[in-house]
Structure 1
């Protein structure tokens, strides 16, 4: 009889713990994954739904200056903020209400900045960027399997899943300690920003990379241009890291970037770098800022999605009007560098898929089919150029 009583007591406690977690659920917010970025619908004051990036790396809530103008939101003062590779001037629009499904966030300051450079790179409209103003209030689960962001009340929350614990530290963005393999069984420790607003797998800050001569550890590299929150352009060397250890999780042969910049977050002396959404999206992650904890549950992408590297050598972006797809960069010694294509050419179609009817995400996927041949048509002035290239991983 005593054993039966103990059994029912344990079962009752376990059941009530699960129910407590479920009862703490406040809302679920659908998101759309475009490339490596999460987009959600947000209303500002009495506006229609707007297209916002949901970003763990966003310490403030930003609004595109063109959207702010359209909504007649007037900044009361000017301030500056650090982007990845430099400072950006922002106008502060105070005391707004944000509505996300049935969630209302009151007295939110919006930081107005031009975001056209990001729209051109991502290939979609960006009305704003939100992160910390949500994470500071709630326990947040980003569930890539269901394409939903789950918000839980922080008070009384207790994680009951099977994910791996990753301790985090905080300013307004989460950081975690990790180890990197630099060869011959030698590992370096570092603290990395967990930034799902960064589309890369991993990037190293300039001081950390120079201090430890990381370029020697990642072998063959190619150079790319990169832009973040500020419109400043920085150059990064892309190579492959032998291994990354993050608590109990290990990642092998991952593409990494070594940045060369003298300002912004990527020039920070105390941070090793960034772990971006090429890694984060492989987990359903619970962020609990109050307790400085995160829990990582491997999802359907964990072992099923290859890491993003360049196979063509082409970097695509939209033009200033966001109506044309242009070649923004061509990587040296890549398949495209050996063709007739040039920077500034307009992409007309790839393998018969017309650029004007497709997203940048779709066109980029067509250029990531390793060991296949693609036919690209592009326009230079009034001349149509057609080339065929063999897609091969550059690193």
Structure 2
């Protein structure tokens, strides 16, 4: 998901990209701090406090050039806001206001101060991910500490940036910082064997497959044709369903000396917003980064990757043919927003707008959206029974999970 001020030509990230605001040196991390986190769709969810509030839920994101607060959270806290520019979310513009001189306490030893928090409506993101989100912690955290993300053990560590020395055996990959965003050079090899160099933004807040490639880069290199079969789909986090493209696989993705086999890829065909940017090729997303313990060091401009136990497990795309969106107070009502053509769901006559009531006899509200997505992208050839509500009718449909790409 992308957000940037519409009158400011800056690079955009895959989750959030906002105009950088003043961050003072007093934010610098002076002690090592470690905290637990949770993941949903491979995104890092952590607890933090805003201006001495109770703990709230934030997403960590290298693709956000500033910290962000959900509009509903700002209202709940009664924070004073000032007007600001519209921002581009990749799928269209949304309004934003700002909270000045704010503080976000990540741990008792690490607080980001003197922030100008962009306040926007994140309800679309919540519905897309299926979790409550109070905000996003972006560039300011990475500017002031070396950040270690241990995806396997769900541990987040902030090291003092001036004292950090890496002594492990991971792959050390240099990156450049442009408009506060980190970019790395990779080599992509298509299914038909054509090699292409690509400049990708490192985005721990990008939830869409291993990498996302932007429209101009995809079309110039004829990547959809070179990597067939692909599947057309619509997507988008804040502005749900406003982006279009196809999903498929490359033969390999090489970053440093690491050669990752058969990565899942979004090939964008979106004609507005950040995915039309021609200055870089796309995004290196969280599903790929989650295969490693990652050290992100803005001071030395290096990404360090240590393979974890999930490295050799192939990332799978949805096998049901159903794209869901969450709603309701607890985000546990699941509505079909898209059915992929020729999929098992299409053959079972599941339709856009159907509401899933039960999955294999169990109430759908017993699952989080990320759990349903995981279920629908694993155990190939297994049969899933869905009880659906369509208007005033209840229907029972069976689908067979079928590998599409």
Q: What do the CA deviations read for 1:291-310 (whole angstroms, capped 9, x no partner)? A: 1111110012112x330302
Aligned residues: 372
Note if contact 2:128-2:237 (Cα within 8 Å) is conserved in structure 1: no
Structure 1 counterpart of 2:40: 34
Runs of 4+ in structure 1 off by over 4 angstroms are 229-232
**1:324-356 alpha-carbon deviations (Å, 9 max, x no partner):** 111111000100001132111110111122112
Residue 320 of structure 1, CA deviation: 5.8
Separation in 1, partners of 2:140, 2:40 = 22
Shift of 1:222: 1.0
Task: Please state whether the residue corresponding to 2:126 is helix, strand or coil.
Answer: helix
Q: TM-score, normalised by structure 1?
A: 0.90
- Work out the CA distance in 2 between the residues paired with 1:362 and 1:139: 31
- 1:50-69 pair list within 5 angstroms: 50-69=56-75
Asked whether 1:97 is paired with 2:103, we answer: yes
1:79 paired with 2:85, answer yes
Preserved contact between residue 34 and residue 157 of structure 2 (Cα < 8 Å): yes
TM-score under structure 2 normalisation? 0.88
* Residue aligning to 1:224: 233
Aligned to 2:263: 254
CA contact (8 A) 1:25 1:150 kept: no
Residue 121 of structure 2 aligns with which residue?
A: 114
Unaligned runs of 5+ in 1: 1-22
1:206–1:259 contact (8 Å) kept in structure 2: yes
- Structure 1 stretch displaced more, 90-99 or 229-238: 229-238
Structure with a larger share of its residues in helix: 1
Residue by residue over 1:135-161, the C-alpha shift from the partner in whole angstroms, topping out at 9 and shown as x without a partner, is 000011111132111111111322111
Q: Sort the Cα spacing of 1:60 and 1:232 in 2 relative to 1 into closer, same or farther, 3 A.
A: farther
Corresponding residue for 1:331? 340
8 Å contact kept, 2:191–2:226: yes
Q: Choose the corresponding residue for 2:390, options 374, 380, 383.
A: 380
Q: Which runs of 5+ in 2 are unaligned?
A: 1-28
Q: State yes or no: 1:148 paired with 2:155.
A: yes
CA contact (8 A) 1:26 1:153 kept: yes
How far off its partner does 1:231 sit? 5.1
Bigger share in strand: 1
Structure whose CA Rg is larger:
1
1:335–1:174 distance in 2 versus 1, CA, 3 Å: same
- Does the 8 Å CA contact 1:350/1:366 hold for their aligned counterparts? no
TM-superposed CA distance for 1:83, in Å, is 2.8
Shift of 1:114: 0.4
> Aligned to 1:79, what secondary structure does the other structure show?
coil
**Contact 1:278/1:308 (<8 A) preserved:** no
**Relative to 1, partners in 2 of residues 1:24 and 1:160: Cα closer, same or farther, differing over 3 Å?**
farther
Q: 1:365 and 1:294 mapped to 2: Cα distance?
A: 28
For residues 166-181 of structure 1, what are the structure 2 equivalents within 5 Å? 166-170=173-177, 171-181=179-189
